[in-house]
Every structure is written in structure tokens, then in C-alpha cells.
Structure 1
Amino acid sequence: MFIGVKKIKGSIFEVGKRLYSDNPNGGSPFNSEEFIIFFKNVKQEKKNIYKELRKKSGVYIFINNITNQLYIGSSINLTKRMVSYYYYTNSDKLSKFVIIRAMKKYGLENFSLGILEFCKQDPKICLELEQKWIDFYKPKYNVLTVAGNSAGFKHSVETINKLKKILSGENHPNFGNITSFETKRAISEGIKNFYLTNNHPSKGLKGVLSSQYGIGGELVFCYSKTGKELIFPSINAARQHFKVRWTKIKKNLDTQEWVTLQDEEWIIQSMPKQK
């Protein structure tokens, strides 16, 4: 009737559920009895969701009742996480998250919410449990198959710059949030433990040799009086090339004034020169 679940070291579930194996996905997400708590209509049961999840942490699942597609997530503060879903779904702001876009498209009234597990308020435990349920259900709305990790999912520099502009300031999902010392320490320890037993081709490489060199930065276009054109993936990349301070590049960006770099006059722009 059920398959075993390996106990996770150092944790343990305050409340747990069995993993049923009577369908191809490994479990039926549409039977409310399989969940610790189940909310049929996310829009109508907003107050109940806030009330029942107050001061709790754990793993949750969203069910699109029209397409039957799923999304699984976890949080050390489930109420706060649900607040963000309501806020971004009802706002006019663009979102990079597939589940938010789906909620905007189909409406919150067509989504159900199930709580798969409650657990201790520990980010590491939450992510371990989330990974277990992602592996179990294989939800289509989870673009990344590793909980809390973007490994194997790489945006172009242009896409990253667009997302940075869209999700900057008050539009950022974590705007106003303050990460606790305990959370920072847990994340740091998790990263250290991962690289003790895992390796990657860029380990130990720095500067231009690093795979992360310039990624996520603002494109910089440099044009000299002699007709040269240099394009850099970030301000940091430009300042390393010219061997100047970061502020030297930043302050002269888009001023349309000539600046001396390595004994040559340059104009520095964030957009390519119009031909």
C-alpha cells in the first residue's frame, strides 16, 4: 500500500504522510485525504489558509484543477509565502515564476492547495523534504528539478539584464525581507557540505577564467576615437580590462563624454552605438 521513506539525518517530521503508489505519478494529488490540510479553492479560502498555516513551516503543493498540473514548494514561514502568491498573482507586475504566471492565467479559484508535510523551522530540512516530494510527484510547474538550486538552468546575459530591471527594488520577491543569522549560517553550511563531496569544472577558477565572470551584469559598450569597439558583459569586466576602478566605468556610463582609459579616449555606453 505504500513505499518506505528514508529518514533524513538530523531532522524529523513533526507530521508525515505516506507516499501512495497507485498511479503513474506515484501518488494521487486529487484526494484530499492524502494531505495534512487541504484547501479546495485557494481564492475563497484565503483567510483559512492564513489561519491554518500561521507560524508553521513545511512543504506544500498547488494543484491546477483545470490542467491537473502541479507545483511543489517549501518555506519556513508558510503564511508569509502564501501572502507573496496572493500579492504577485493579483498585481500587474510581471513574474519570472511559472506558477505565478499560471495562477494569473487560470485564476486562483481554479487552484487547490495541499500541505504535504509540516516540519521544523530549518531551511535545510525544508529543502530536503521539498526535494523528496519533487522527486515523488515530478511536478510540471517546477522548472528546476533540484529544490532551491538553479543548477543546469542558465539564462542569457540579455535575459538576466531584463529580469534585473523587472525585479529590482520593490518588485523584487524578497524586497523588505531580512535574512536571519540562522538562515545565512544554514545556507553557508549547506554549500560547504555540498562541495566537500561534489566537484565542478570551474572550481578554484577566478576572474575571466570563472564561468560566472560578468554574468548578471550590465552590458558595457566602449567606442574609441580611433574606431575601436569593445563589448563587455558587465561593468566589472570592463574595469578589469582597462585596469581601473569600478566607479571609473560606472560614473562615465552614458555620459557621452570622452574618458581616458589606458592612454586612449573612449565613450562608454550601456547600449550599442546607433549605426
Structure 2
Amino acid sequence: YKHSPKWSKFHYKKINNSLIDCENRNRINSNKFLTMSPFLLIRNNVLFLSKLNTKSFHSMNVRYNSTLISSPKSDISPKLNDFLIEKNLNPIYCYEELQLESTRKKILMETKNLSGIYLILNKVTLDYYIGSASTDRFYARFSNHLIYLRGSQILKLAARNYKLSNFAFIILELFPEIVTRENNKHLIDLEDFYLKSLLPNYNILTEAGSSFGYKHTEMTRLKMSSNYSQERRDRIGSLNKGKNLSLETIDKLRYKSLNRDKLNYSEQAKLNMKKNSKSVILYNLNKTIYGEYSSIVEAASSIGCSEKTIRRALKTEKKLLKRRWIINYK
């Protein structure tokens, strides 16, 4: 491990069957060190090893190089450097001058196939936002937040008020696996750790991946109440009441309705719908059974009518269908 580029920042000495990290002065039992998976993480300047399946680690299509573990770089702005020191952070990558096309290309290339936790810092107010990105989604998160202004409303307003050059995009920690449905919970837990530790003021929610704990302010509740008052609802409801459409408009609506594209389901899709549908029985008006069908789709096909017509009839009290049958669930 010590000759690998991933460990180039660290030098280890073996003392009393233990490994000493000379930079952070952390003592690690060598036997435990060698049996665990080869992935090193720094969190709040504490060196520890992540338990990761070795097979899955080597099968990952991810570029890990010597910049995986690094201290704050000397080429970043003093304000950003002070922020990292104050918050006791040791990020993986720091990107400034976000308004430049070269910086955006650099983010796209260097974060390709990576996943983890990121921080967006307003260097003027020192407010910040923390989020998580699944595999190969760092650049998408960056562009959505700061270029296309999607996502967090607070961050969107800040990005409009301040120039893009006043923001920094920081990758705090990499997630050591390709994100799947099974391990996504671990990424959310990692994001939750940073939310609870750093308490970012651009984040509305207090828990990662959940709206639990969020409450509207009193002012917001009053605005919502006034926006959807009964008076406004009545006014909207009366807009088209009593209005007569022109013959031209009626013809357009009729033409649009008659020439609507019909949905063509595959045979497999029809079978799936039949499995999930309830059986229905069709009676003649004299109460004799006309037919029994495994689904509404099959009944509609048999009598040559729309599925919507059958569903409407089933919701009525008399269950009368096209004045010829009575339909009901089996």
C-alpha cells in the first residue's frame, strides 16, 4: 500500500506491530490494517479505514489517484482556505472561478464516475449548501444548482443575487462504491452526518433525503392562506361559468378529441394489466348473465366500448352500461 499512488501523501513506520501515520500521528494495528479493504478516508482530520468489499472496490470503474486524500491546497483563495480551516475540513477537490468554461470542463472530467458529498460555498456571505451526488452526478448537481438554478430555492435566490464567481464548489468526501438502490442508504447516511455536523444554512431540510423536521414560517403560512382563500377559489370557478364558446372553438375541440392518438399496448402489457385487474360480470337488463371477464380491458374489447365508459358505469349507483347491460365486479 505504501508504494501505491493512493498512499503517496502518507508514510508509515512499523513500531511494536503497529503502523504509525507520520502526518496525522494515528496508530493503527497492522494486522487489522492489512485485513481491511484498501480505502482510506479522512473525516475531520481523523484517519480511518472504510470496510469495503475488496472485490467490488477493484471492479469499480473509478479513477482514484494521489489527489484522493489531500490537505487544503495553496492555490485556493485565502477566504476559502480560512473557511476550510475554521470548519476543520479536508476536501478532495476545490473549484473556484466557476464562471470560466475551463473550470466547468475540469469539474466534468475530474468527477467523472465519482459519487459522494459536495458543498457549495458563497464566498461573500460564507453561507453554504451540502448535498450528495450518486455515481457520475457531481457535474449535474453543480450545473443544476448554479447554472440552471434548479433545486434548493434558497440557493437559487443566492445564485441570482451574487455572481457565479463568488461561489466555490467543494467535494468533501467520496463514496467508495458505485451507488445502487441497495447501498444508496449509506450515501444518505453520509450526507446526514455532514448536515448534522456542519449545519448548513442554505439547506432547508434538517435530515438528508427526507422532509422530516421542516416547518413553514408563519409568514409563509399566511401567504399560502391568502393565495388559496375561498374568495379566490370562487372567482376562479366563475371565470368560465356561463361562457359560450364560438362554433370555431367547438369544432377545434371536437376535431382534437376525435383524432386523439390511441394508445397501442403490447400483448405483454395487456397481460400485465389483466393480472392486476379485477374480474367483472356483465348482466342483461333482465338480470341474466351476458358474460364474465377477467378484466375491464377484456370486457371493453368484447362489447366494443371504451374502458373509461366501463369505469364510469362501475362508479354509478345503478351500474348501467350503454343502456343495454348492468356491470359489476365479480
TM-score between the two structures when normalised by the length of structure 2? 0.39
TM-score between the two structures when normalised by the length of structure 1? 0.46
Structure number with greater Rg is 2
